[in-house]
Amino acid sequence: MQNRWSEAEAAKHHGLIGECVYVSRLLGSDRALVSHGGGNTSVKLREADVHGDPRDVLYVKGSGWELAAIEPEGFAPLDLARVRRLADLDALSDTDMVDELLQARVRSDAPDPSVESIIHAILPATAVVHAHPNALLAVANTPSGPQRVRDLYGPDVLVVPYAMPGFRAAKELATRLAEVGTDYTSIVLLSHGVVSVGETPREAYDRLIDLVDIAERYVQRFSSERSRGSVRPQPPVERLPLAQLRFEVSRAAGRPCLMRQHRDQTSWAFSQRDDLAAVSRQGVATPDHALWTKPLPMLGRDVATYADGYRDYVSSHSADRDVRQRDPAPRVILDRDLGLLTAGPSLGAESASADIYTQIIDTIEMADGLGGFQGLPASDIFDLEYWELEQRKLDRVGVGDEFTGEVALVSGANSGIGRGCALALLDRGAAVVGVDVNPAVVGMTDHAAYIGVQCDVSSLGSLEGALDAAVERFGGVDMVVAAAGLFPESGLIVQHDPSAWTRAMSVNVDGLIRLFSLVQPLLALSPRKGRVVVIGSKNVRAPGPGASAYSASKAAANQIARVAALEWAADGIRVSSVHPDAVFDTALWTEDLLLARAAKYGLSVEDYKRRNLMGVEITSAQVGELVAVMLGRAFAATTGAHVTIDGGNERTI
Closest CB to Zn ion among 193 and 345? 193
Residues 247-266 that bind Zn ion (CB under 5 A): none
Say if CB 171 and CB 86 are below 8 A apart: no
Residues 422-481 that bind Zn ion (CB under 5 A): none
Least distance from C-beta 160 to Zn ion, angstroms? 12
Say if CB 349 and CB 395 are below 8 A apart: no
The vertex-541 CA angle with 515 and 555, nearest 5°, equals 25
Closest CB to Zn ion among 207 and 419? 207
The helix/strand/coil state of 258 is strand
Least distance from C-beta 39 to Zn ion, angstroms? 7
Say if CB 403 and CB 633 are below 8 A apart: no
Least distance from C-beta 124 to Zn ion, angstroms? 20
User: Strand 157-160 relative to strand 54-61: parallel, antiparallel, unpaired?
Assistant: unpaired
Least distance from C-beta 94 to Zn ion, angstroms? 16
Closest CB to Zn ion among 114 and 620? 114
Closest CB to Zn ion among 159 and 338? 159
Closest CB to Zn ion among 116 and 203? 116
Closest CB to Zn ion among 35 and 280? 35
Say which DSSP state 570 is in: G
Closest CB to Zn ion among 193 and 344? 193
Closest CB to Zn ion among 38 and 452? 38
Least distance from C-beta 379 to Zn ion, angstroms? 19
Closest among 616, 619, 645, 618 to 630, alpha carbons compared: 645
Alpha helices in 531-615 (DSSP H): 548-568, 591-600, 605-609
Q: How far is CA 17 from the centre of its chain?
A: 30
Closest CB to Zn ion among 380 and 478? 380
Residues 6+ apart with CB under 8 A from 89: 167, 171
Site string for Zn ion, 368-397 (x = CB under 5 A): ------------------------------
Site string for Zn ion, 190-229 (x = CB under 5 A): ---x------------------------------------
Alpha helices in 157-238 (DSSP H): 167-180, 201-221
Closest CB to Zn ion among 131 and 269? 131
Closest CB to Zn ion among 92 and 409? 92
> CB under 5 A: which stretch of 20-28, 185-193, 259-267, 476-484 binds Zn ion?
185-193
User: Taking the CA atoms of the chain, what radius of gyration do you get in angstroms?
Assistant: 29
Phi and psi, residue 66, nearest 5°: -85, 135
Number of residues counted as binding Zn ion (CB under 5 A): 1
In order of 66, 305, 499, 613, the CA distances from 249 in angstroms are: 28, 12, 48, 49
Least distance from C-beta 339 to Zn ion, angstroms? 30
Alpha helices in 181-284 (DSSP H): 201-221, 239-253, 265-271, 276-279
Closest CB to Zn ion among 193 and 536? 193
Closest CB to Zn ion among 173 and 564? 173
The vertex-386 CA angle with 71 and 399, nearest 5°, equals 65
Least distance from C-beta 27 to Zn ion, angstroms? 12
For the beta carbon of residue 225, count every other beta carbon within 10 angstroms: 7
Closest among 475, 597, 593 to 525, alpha carbons compared: 475
Site string for Zn ion, 581-620 (x = CB under 5 A): ----------------------------------------
Least distance from C-beta 189 to Zn ion, angstroms? 7
Least distance from C-beta 114 to Zn ion, angstroms? 9
> CB under 5 A: which stretch of 186-194, 302-310, 365-373, 474-482 binds Zn ion?
186-194
> CB under 5 A: which stretch of 9-17, 189-197, 332-340, 435-443 binds Zn ion?
189-197
Least distance from C-beta 132 to Zn ion, angstroms? 6
**Residue nearest to Zn ion according to CB distances in the complex:** 193
Work out the end-to-end distance of the chain between its first and last CA atoms, rounded to an integer number of angstroms: 70
- The DSSP code sequence of 288-307 is GGHHHH-SSPEESS-HHHHH
Residues 6+ apart with CB under 8 A from 80: 44, 55, 56, 57, 58, 121
Closest CB to Zn ion among 197 and 515? 197
Least distance from C-beta 484 to Zn ion, angstroms? 49
Site string for Zn ion, 279-318 (x = CB under 5 A): ----------------------------------------
- The DSSP code sequence of 373-437 is -----HHHHHHHHT-HHHHHHHHHH-S--TTTT-EEEEETTTSHHHHHHHHHHHHTT-EEEEEES
Least distance from C-beta 578 to Zn ion, angstroms? 51
Least distance from C-beta 566 to Zn ion, angstroms? 57
Say which DSSP state 633 is in: G
Closest CB to Zn ion among 59 and 306? 59
> CB under 5 A: which stretch of 187-195, 443-451, 475-483, 545-553 binds Zn ion?
187-195
In order of 14, 199, 206, 208, 601, the CA distances from 11 in angstroms are: 7, 18, 17, 21, 64
Least distance from C-beta 74 to Zn ion, angstroms? 17
CA distance 424 to 378: 43
Alpha helices in 29-87 (DSSP H): 80-86
Closest CB to Zn ion among 170 and 645? 170
Least distance from C-beta 326 to Zn ion, angstroms? 21
Least distance from C-beta 287 to Zn ion, angstroms? 8
The partner residues of 460 in beta bridges, in order of sequence, read: none
Element holding 121 (H helix, E strand):
helix 117-122
CA distance 362 to 412: 40
Interaction site with Zn ion (CB under 5 A)? 193
